[in-house]
Amino acid sequence: MTLGTELDHEWLKDAEFEQANETPEPDLALGRQVIAARVRAGMTQVQLAQRMDTTEAAIAHLEGGQTSPSLKTLKKLAAVTGSQLVVRLDEAAA
């Protein structure tokens, strides 16, 4: 496991990090899911970028909630990380 992956694992376990992201905006929530999928797959951002044929910066933007990926990108991400892609629309909160 690389230093970056070890740090990602630590952030995901950190209670303060979890509390700060308890009810994130949709892009931030998706970014956290991307991080979790990458960490489960044991990859760094560089490795994920290489396997997805993109740049580390693109992965960083996706993980940071700075970009909204296409469904095609999400399908590729799921395949590369061994994840299952689930798209869902929930009823809006009143």
| Cα–chain center distance at 61 | 10
Residue 27 confidence (pLDDT): 85
Those residues whose C-beta lies under 8 Å from the C-beta of residue 86, and which sit 6 or more positions away, are none
Residue 7 confidence (pLDDT): 60
Distance CA 86, CA 38 (A): 16
Residue 14 confidence (pLDDT): 63
Output the pTM of the full model.
0.72
**CATH annotation of 3-81:** 1.10.260.40
Residue 9 confidence (pLDDT): 60
| Cα–chain center distance at 26 | 12
**Among 39, 29, 44, which residue's Cα sits nearest to residue 88?**
29
Q: Which 8-state DSSP code applies to residue 22?
A: S
pLDDT by 10-residue block (mean), the chain, 94 residues: 61 59 73 96 97 97 93 97 94 83
The angle at the Cα of 80, spanning 48 to 67, to the nearest 5 degrees, equals 60
Query: Residue type at 72?
Result: K
Residue 93 confidence (pLDDT): 81
